[in-house]
Every structure is written in C-alpha cells, then in structure tokens.
Structure 1
Amino acid sequence: MLKSKKSKMLSIAIATLVAGSLLSGCGSSSSSSTTSKSAQIIKYNLGANPKTIDPGLNSSVEGATVIANAFEGLTDVDANNKPHPGVAKSWTISADGKHYVFHLRKDAKWSDGKPVTAKDFEYAWKRALAPETASDYAYQLYYLKNAQGYNESSLPADQKTPGVAAATADQVGVKATDDYTLDVELENPTPYFLSLMAFQTYMPLRKDVIDAHPKDWAINGPTYVSNGAFKMVDWKQKDKLEFVKNPNYWNKSAVKLDKLTYTVLDDETSYMSAYQSGQVDIIDAPPTEQIPSLLKSGKAKSYVNIGTYYYSFNLDPTAKVDPAVAKAMDNVKVRQAISLAIDRTSLVKNVTKAGQIPSTTFVPSGIIGPDGKDFKQKKYYSATADVKKAKQLLADAGYADGNNFPSIELIYNNGEGHQSVAEAIQAMLKKNLNINITLRSVERKVQLDETSKHTYTGMARNGWSADYVDPMTFLDMWVTGGGNNTAGYSNKAYDKLIEEAKAETNATKRFKEMHDAEDILMTDMPIIPLYEYNVISCMKDYVKGVYRTPMDTVYFTNAYVQK
C-alpha cells in the first residue's frame, strides 16, 4: 500500500507475476500468427463471451480483464499488485484514514478526446450505487460514507440492514469539488482503499454517453467511450471483441500494441487448436489431459491466483424450485454431508491435474495477517472424503443411505474442465452417499444470470478471485442480500461480524472477527469450497510485457510483440 505507514492493519504477501518474459508457448513454439509477428497485434482468448463489459455491472473475470485494459481508475496496479497513480496524479489522506482528496491529472482524456473530470468518477460511483442500477457489486462501494444507505433506500423496511440510515445520492461520500479534485469520505478507515481505486466498479463513466444510449452503450464500439490504454472498435457477439490503441490515452507513449483482440472460445480443444495454428497468441486453461506434460516441458506456466473454485447451494427462500429439493438443500446436515463426501485431494490429483491446492476453507492461502501468518490457519474438514461422517449426517437429516433423497441438479458453465469436475463430484456423491446429481452445462452468461438471480435448482458451479488482498473480499459477499451472494445465504450473526470487522481499526481484533465469521460460514455450509485456484497459461514466445495480477486480471498496457 502507498500509505502503509498510516495503517498497521494488514501486511500482504503475494507473488510477482510477470508473464511476458517468463512464459513460453504451448505446443510448438514455431507456431506463429500470420498477423501478430508482423505487427503489434495480440490475440488473447478470454474463455467465454462476457455477459457485460459495463464497469458498473460486470461481475466476471472475463469482463474484468476487458475493462481493466479499456479503462483507468484513480489508481492503477503494477505486476506486484501495488497501486500507483492512474488518473489521479496525487492524493492526500487524513490522519484518521477516512478522508481522501484525489488530484486528477489534466491530460487524462476519454477515447473521444474529451477531458476526464472528477465528475465522471462521482457519476460512475453513484450510478453503481443507485437502486435502479441493480449492480451486483454495489456493496463494493459501501466503504463510502452513506453509500449503503443510498443503495438500500428503496428497499422495504424489513429488508434494510439494521442500523443503516437511509440516504440520498447527495449524501454519499464522494463529491467533485472542481473538474480535477475528488473529495472522498469513508465510513471507516480502509487500508486497501487505494487498491480498490483500480477496481472496475470505481472506474469513471461518461454520463452523457450513457444517458444517450442507456441500454446498449457498452456493446458498440462508437459508444463504448473509455479512458484507458485501448478503445473498442467492435464486439462481434460470441466471436471476438476488437480493441485498438487509444490515441487519446494520457500515457499512450507506454502502449506499444496497435491492436488487441479478445476471442471468446469456451471449448478447450477448440482454443488449443486455435493457439497451435497461430490464430490466438495467449490461452488459459489448456485441455486438462495435456496440462502435466505442458508444465513439465515448460510450454505452460502456473500462476498464483488468490481465489477459490466452489459450488453453491440455492438457499433463497423465494426461489421457485421443487419443494423436495428446497427442503433437502435447506438442511444444514445435508449440505455438510455432501461436502464431506467429496475427496478434494483426488479431485485435484486425478481430475484437474494442474497443481491446485484442495480447499479446506473458503478464504484461500496467500493473505497474511498482522501476526505474520497466513489467514488460512484452520482446516474445517479433511481434504479427503470423510464418508463415515457424511453418511451419518445424511441419515440424521432423514435420508439414510440416500433413501427418499430428491434428484439434485448441478449447473456449470461450458468447458471440459468444469464438466470433468462436475462428473467427478457426481460419481463421488453416488458412490459415497447414494444420491443422484444431474448435470446441466450452460453458457457463461446463463450461469452468471441463474446464480445471481437464484433461479438454478439445487447446486451451481462458481468461482471467486480476490478483488483486493484481504480476507474481506471473500467474506463480505455472503452477507444477507449481497449482490454476489450466489447461494442466497442469510445469517444475522454472520452479518454482524462482517459489519464489526469493517469498522474495526485494531488489526488483531479485526482478523479475529473475520475468522469467527468464516467459522459460521463453514458450519452453515451454503457453499462447498473445492480447490484454490491457479492459472495455467500458454503464451507465444514473441509476446512480451504482459502481466497478470493474483486477482486473475491480465494487463496489456505494456505488452508488445518482439519481431
């Protein structure tokens, strides 16, 4: 943190993840693009067609990478995930850590040449918080004074968070005092706030553009006005997104690429073939069966990703699902039994095969606390299956040996890797508990839609990568009514601990409160953590300067093709 001396709440240990100089290609290194090696063009496969690339509405890693390269926040992050000046050239922080004043650079411009102003940030933040926007990530702005009260202002009284007073947009703690000064007031000191300024929901937006094209501004090149290194030319749905260097970007001299293309192939065999034939320069998650040999030969590289691959149960009491399924899912002993019946060690060894770590907590390793130790200090269950206890819990729930247990559907987004994991879980649950799980593969957009709206029946595949390096990024998503609470989970005691931890300034006590919250989460088991993420990536050896943060966001600002 730039202001770490003002906060003793958190020290962070993360890996430096510079891809450009370290990564060699999968398959034959002689395979080369017909365009990339003769021009400054890079083609990166996102792995899915983004549901949206609106910074205020996106909640997927695919959209996040596109946004990170098209927009720039008050701060930016480097390969070490350290914040540094972006649109803000400098800032001051009050002694109590609750008041920030950002001073914007006057040469920052939008892709259409108009100046970026402090008002663009104020508008974007309040737009994400506005109840009518229905942003999944509105809670990420609750650090701002009165932000939660404004976001919840239209909710019925019984759905509002206790103790949070209703507020208007004018009362939210962000105000442009002039074109180049942004005044920000926080509810509580937030040690990672400068890192948050590089997060997508805090990106600036143009009110005039969105007012003129409220429904489609973020899907068409001419209206997707951005302020970062690249500007969109075209988005061919389910095919590719085409970007070019933004000639109005204030730091355009650092940008070497002329063109950046994102392909959206979601089938591992297809994008591996495209990579080997030179149609794509970078892919992530090559076919599972090839990963061990690719890693061993150095043709692929594993990158740290502070994240967790997990399944969620649909616990939303308003969800329209089969009553028998709802009854089973609502029983905590059923959820615990299903979790304990899964052999995570076997899963990562025999199915994913990419060196992942079995998850025995929801918060993954890699986040260091004030005691110098990793936050992940506890194992809530064995990494191998505890079949005896799982069977007993299922019997205690009234489904001895799986009798009378309803068939549960598990949805997952397209991809051989997700399918292999789902099939392995399906087999484990049949063998160890004698319960039947049906599988349904859907497009990424559908998966995101069904999980966010709680319209899926039974269970759903999900994953979460850190938005910033603090346990809170994994914990505050599970508060009642949270926009990314894919389980529809609610526990008032949990909510209270998260609220207290956000307001706590004593680092040791704060981490204790977050540990206590995770204790509740892992007892209630609304989710099944399966393994800690890593990223297996293949990159052509002529691609340089690309870097990936531990949040699984890929940056191309400094990328280039070595001819």
Structure 2
Amino acid sequence: MKKKFLIFLSLILVLSVVITGCVPKSDDANPGDKDKPADEGKDTPKGEKILRTNNASEPGSLDPALATGTHESYALDHTFEGLMKLNPDLELVPAMAKEEPEVSDDKLTYTFKLRDDIKWSNGDPVTAGDFEFAWKRALDPKTAADYAHQLYYIKGGEEYNTGKGKIEDVMVKAEDDKTLVVTLDAPTPYFLELTAFYTLYPVNQKVVEANADWAKNADTHVSNGPFTLKEWTHSASIKLRKNDNYYDKDKIKLDGIDFDIISDENTAWQKYEGGDYDFLLPLPQAVVAQMQAEKNPELVIGTEVGTYYYSLNSQFELKDGIKPFANEKIRKAMTMTLDRKTIVEKIAQGGQIVAEGVVPFGLKDENGKEYRDKVGKLVEYNVDEGKKLFQEGLKETGLTAEDFKKVVLVYNTSEAHKKIAQAAQEMWRVNLGVEIQLENAEFQVKLDRERSGDYMVSRSGWIGDYTDPITFLELWYSSSPFNYPKYNNPEYDKLIDTIKSSPDAAVRFDSLRKAEKMIMEDMPVVPVYFYTLPYAQKPYVTGVFKPLVNYPRLTYADINK
C-alpha cells in the first residue's frame, strides 16, 4: 500500500502542471477575439452546411491500398465505399453491391452484383473491374500495402503477395461490369464485413493507371463515396464536399466536411469551445473528466473495440549486443508493475476498461456470448513478483537498472499519450528502479519507426478492423507487417493458421483462446487498457453514428442551427 501511495503521489506531482490550465474557460477560448461571430471570416458560402472538425494527424496517404490508420480512414470512410457498408442502425447492408451476395454451399465462393447507378466522382461508372483491379493492386508486392494481408482470405492472394504465385491465380474476377466473383481459401465468417473495410474499397482503374500520384492531391483524387476530396493543404487541412454522383446523395444532408489537421488536443479543444468546430475527437483527458463531472450533454462516450498497449522491441540492442526485451522475464516485469487501474481512473478518465489481455470486450464467441468470459483475466498487477522477475532478467542478460536510462519510450504527439507515458515512466521508476526516457514523434513518423524497428518501447494501439478476435491476435503473427515487437513463436503461428482456415467455429474459438493465452504468457506487448472513444458534439448536430470498430460516421449528419 505504501508503494502504491508513493506512485500516486509522484504522479500527482508529475502531472499537476500539465493538467492545470488544460481545460480553458469558455471566455478564454479565443483571447482578444471574444466578440467576433464564430463564422466570421470563414470561406463557407452562406446557407451551406459544412461540418467543421479536426483530424489529429496528417494522413500518410488517401489511397485505400496504402492507408494504415484512423488518421487516414477518417477521410477515406467518407470519400469511398465498398461492396457493403454499415448503416446508422449498425447493420451490414449492401452498398456498391445492390444486394447480399450469392454464397456457395461450401461458403467459399461469393458472387456480388453491383448497382446500376454507381459512378466515380469524375462521372465514370464504377465497375466490377475496378474492384478486381483494386484488390489485386493491394496484393501486388510492388504496391507494398501493409494491409495486403486482409486479402489473404482470397484464394491465391497470399501467394501472389509473397512472390510465390501469379496475379492470374488470385481468385477475384469481374465476369462483366456488374458481376464480381470471389473465391476464398477457407470459409471466413467475417469476409462480408471485410468488404466494408477501406483496404477493400475500389479505385478507378483508368485514373490510377494514368497517374501514379493520383491520391496525393485533391485535383487528381477520384472516389466513389458520399463525399469527394475538394482540397488538401498538407499538414494543415482537408476539405470534403458532397459527391453529386453518389447514388444515395438525396440522403446526404451535409454539403461538406472540413477537417483541420492539428495534433495538439488542447488547441483543437479551444477551437471547439470557441465555436470553430461542430464536432471533435479526440478530447484532452482533463476535458473528458470535467465534462463527465458536469454531466455535459455535448460529451459522448463512444463504444470502441480497441486496445491501448506498449510494444517492446525484442530486436533492440541496449549495449554489447544485449537485447533486453528478448528476455521474457523483463517483458513480464514491465507488464506486472504497471498500475492500469490508476492510469484508467486517474489519468485517462474516459471510461476505459483495465486491460485483461489483448482482445477487448465486445466481441462474441462461437455461442454468441462475450468472448472474454471464457478467456479470463490474463494480466495482473503484482509488484513483488514483477520486481523479482526483473532482477532475474537482469542477471540473465548481464544488464543493470542503470543501463535502462538508455531505454526510450516513443509516443505520438498527444497530451493524453504524454500523460500516460509519464505515468508509466514513474511506475517503472518506483517499482523497478529504472529511469527510462520519453520521446514524442508525429504519428506517421512513429509508425514509420515502428515498421523499420527503429524504436525501443513504443506507444501502440489497435482498433479492430472487424468484429472477430483474430483482428487483434493476427498482429503478432511472425510475418505480420504490424508485428512491431518482432515476436516469433512457431506454435503461435500454427494457432493463427488454424483460426484462419478452420470451418469449425468451436475449433476456431478454442484456438483463439489458446493464442491469446500464449501471447500473454510470452508478453511481447504491455496491455494498458481497452478503449472507449469520448467525443464532443454540438447540440445542433444530428445523425452521427458510431460503429464498434470505426471512428464516428458523419455521412448522414445534419446541422440544424
């Protein structure tokens, strides 16, 4: 108890300066500009409904094949559309497809019929050939798509992507302009849901083949969703406008969506309070706490299927060729001495749930019940055991606590990530006697460093791509592009292979549970909490809906001032 009190006291001292003044008063939101109307100086034509918000990071790409995170999908999910989509009732419904696909008795072949009234933003018809081209392009090794593995379910997909097969053997075929036939390697219960995921969005074959840089700027960008990319001022703003060629345009109430690109959460919050934004996420943690305390009706705690964790680079050499995070005892010690409850209740303060593993709550098992119920709690807070393991790990590696002063935890620029990193730093200092360093980096830079292995410890997070536990567990498959810790366990790989290939639900979920227990025994990552997604929404904004595995959708939003 004494040690926990010391940690809490230290956290208060570390964070007090950061938290103080984090929540600006309404009168201070725009100093020196208090009497200026919120819309004065805007370039929005009178009468247009433009929803104003923020995208916290500059997208690395607005090409569906190259996108890798929410900083890109936020715009892509409003400018593109797949064969299926989620509607405001969170039902998976036909989108570019005019009806549910015909599925063969063996659950391997899907035949999609496309709508007759679908066009690209440049007026070209959207064809089945565009889907075939887009999916094979994402699988093409030359494209270097990190998410190519989401198409491995297609027969011949993995072989082509890994250089062991030909493009002709990838079993996705446009039989005519309106008919797309897809054959899978094995029955995949979530395949239909995957067709609503951005990697499987179509691209205009004519446009892409004519200009390799088509997705880098607004004047060459072509899409098929409810909005189009009107303007992209890199690292500053993104402006979307209603797509007049969209088949469902009569249901789109907004004339457009304007995204700023501001990484500082406090600055973005000040703009929301000052009337510059109609909708905002993410929110500063102190703001969420205050809004909750005040029962502010503009706060929405969105449900989310996601996990916040730290990746430990097993290939990082600290000194003399010694890799500290290749040692299982050191990895476990880092996990066991992190007080998640304090982080969730005193720092994050957004209704997050203390992580019990790497797969969050909200996913169903083979019987339609909560997946986590049969897995149980796989992470514990046990300082004494953690300290013991750490000392054993130091002895086995020949390292000292002093050596850990060279260890750096990198997090992407965000006040929330900073405060949680400071808390973790302090907990490890008090509990393990190590003084690691902190470094912030722009989000895309952090991702690039994780991919290249140029990090020691990194702030990571994963929002499910679809509602099956494999969307989390496949991250640490040895050849996964998102296996940032460089975890390599052949037995784990075998379990993942079984999960992806077995048609038997009982076998699949038994393997899923075994895989999660294995990853939590080896501990290549340090789970922190299961996400929620707090966001702020002005009372005059309606029609926003929040899918379980996506950012809120603004597609059918309306502004009624």
Query: What TM-score results when the alignment is normalised by the length of structure 1?
Result: 0.89
Distance 1:151 1:117 in 2: 24
Structure 1 counterpart of 2:84, which letter?
T
The counterpart of 1:558, out of the listed 531, 556, 559, is: 556
Q: Is residue 394 of structure 1 aligned with residue 379 of structure 2? A: no
Q: Is residue 224 of structure 1 aligned with residue 234 of structure 2? A: no
Q: Is this contact kept in 2: 1:102–1:183, CA < 8 A?
A: yes
Q: Is this contact kept in 1: 2:544–2:553, CA < 8 A?
A: yes
The counterpart of 2:514, out of the listed 513, 516, 525, is: 516
Q: Is this contact kept in 1: 2:97–2:115, CA < 8 A?
A: yes
Q: Is this contact kept in 1: 2:303–2:546, CA < 8 A?
A: no
- Aligned residue for 1:5? none
Structure 2 counterpart of 1:290, which letter?
V
Deviations 1:312-332 (A, max 9, x none): 0112x4x6x544585111111
The counterpart of 2:267, out of the listed 267, 270, 275, is: 270
Matched position secondary structure for 1:39: coil
- Aligned residue for 2:22? none
Q: Is residue 75 of structure 1 aligned with residue 74 of structure 2? A: no
The alpha carbon displacement at 1:219 in A equals 2.0
Structure 2 counterpart of 1:76, which letter?
K
Distance 2:286 2:394 in 1: 40
Q: Which of 1 and 2 has higher RCO (CA within 8 Å, sep 6+)?
A: 1
Distance 1:73 1:213 in 2: 22
Q: Is residue 286 of structure 1 aligned with residue 291 of structure 2? A: no
Distance 1:539 1:274 in 2: 13
The alpha carbon displacement at 1:288 in A equals 1.6
- Aligned residue for 1:7? none
Q: Is this contact kept in 1: 2:318–2:324, CA < 8 A?
A: no
Q: Is this contact kept in 1: 2:310–2:459, CA < 8 A?
A: yes
- What are structure 2's unaligned runs of at least 5 residues? 1-24
The alpha carbon displacement at 1:379 in A equals 0.9
Matched position secondary structure for 1:547: coil
- Aligned residue for 2:324? 328
- What are structure 1's unaligned runs of at least 5 residues? 1-25, 154-165
- Alpha-carbon spacing, 1:349–1:203, altered in 2? closer, same or farther (3 Å): same
Distance 1:556 1:114 in 2: 25
The counterpart of 1:505, out of the listed 493, 503, 509, is: 503
Distance 1:551 1:27 in 2: 33
- Alpha-carbon spacing, 1:322–1:404, altered in 2? closer, same or farther (3 Å): closer
Q: Is this contact kept in 2: 1:254–1:557, CA < 8 A?
A: no
Structure 2 counterpart of 1:170, which letter?
E
1:385-464 equivalent positions in 2, closer than 5 A: 385-399=381-395, 402=401, 404-405=403-404, 407-456=406-455, 458-464=456-462
1:293-312 equivalent positions in 2, closer than 5 A: 293-296=290-293, 297-298=295-296, 299-312=298-311
The alpha carbon displacement at 1:290 in A equals 2.2
Q: Is this contact kept in 2: 1:407–1:435, CA < 8 A?
A: no
Distance 2:321 2:415 in 1: 27
The counterpart of 1:257, out of the listed 249, 254, 257, is: 254
Deviations 1:67-93 (A, max 9, x none): 111001011112343210111102201
Query: What TM-score results when the alignment is normalised by the length of structure 2?
Result: 0.89
- Aligned residue for 2:356? 360
The alpha carbon displacement at 1:27 in A equals 6.3
RMSD: 2.0
Q: Is this contact kept in 2: 1:391–1:401, CA < 8 A?
A: no
Distance 2:231 2:368 in 1: 47
Matched position secondary structure for 1:305: coil
Structure 2 counterpart of 1:260, which letter?
I
- Alpha-carbon spacing, 1:539–1:33, altered in 2? closer, same or farther (3 Å): farther
Structure 1 counterpart of 2:362, which letter?
G
Deviations 1:434-490 (A, max 9, x none): 11211110111101111122222x100111001111101111121112122222221
- Aligned residue for 2:534? 536
- Aligned residue for 1:526? 524
Matched position secondary structure for 1:450: helix
Q: Is this contact kept in 2: 1:325–1:406, CA < 8 A?
A: no
Q: Is residue 143 of structure 1 aligned with residue 153 of structure 2? A: yes
Structure 2 counterpart of 1:189, which letter?
P
Matched position secondary structure for 2:434: coil
Structure 2 counterpart of 1:192, which letter?
Y
What is the total number of aligned residue pairs between the two structures? 519
Matched position secondary structure for 1:312: strand
Q: Is this contact kept in 1: 2:394–2:400, CA < 8 A?
A: no
The alpha carbon displacement at 1:546 in A equals 1.5
Matched position secondary structure for 1:531: strand
Distance 1:182 1:133 in 2: 22
Distance 2:197 2:255 in 1: 25
- Alpha-carbon spacing, 1:335–1:325, altered in 2? closer, same or farther (3 Å): farther
Q: Is this contact kept in 2: 1:108–1:249, CA < 8 A?
A: yes
Structure 1 counterpart of 2:108, which letter?
K
The alpha carbon displacement at 1:381 in A equals 2.3
Deviations 1:23-46 (A, max 9, x none): xxx969999555689531101212
Q: Is this contact kept in 1: 2:451–2:482, CA < 8 A?
A: yes
The counterpart of 1:244, out of the listed 219, 233, 241, is: 241
294-303 or 122-131, which moves further after superposition?
294-303
Matched position secondary structure for 2:303: strand
Structure 1 counterpart of 2:54, which letter?
N
Distance 1:542 1:218 in 2: 33
Distance 1:324 1:84 in 2: 57
Matched position secondary structure for 1:137: helix
Structure 2 counterpart of 1:133, which letter?
T
**Structure with more helix by fraction:** 2
Structure 2 counterpart of 1:472, which letter?
I
Matched position secondary structure for 1:177: strand
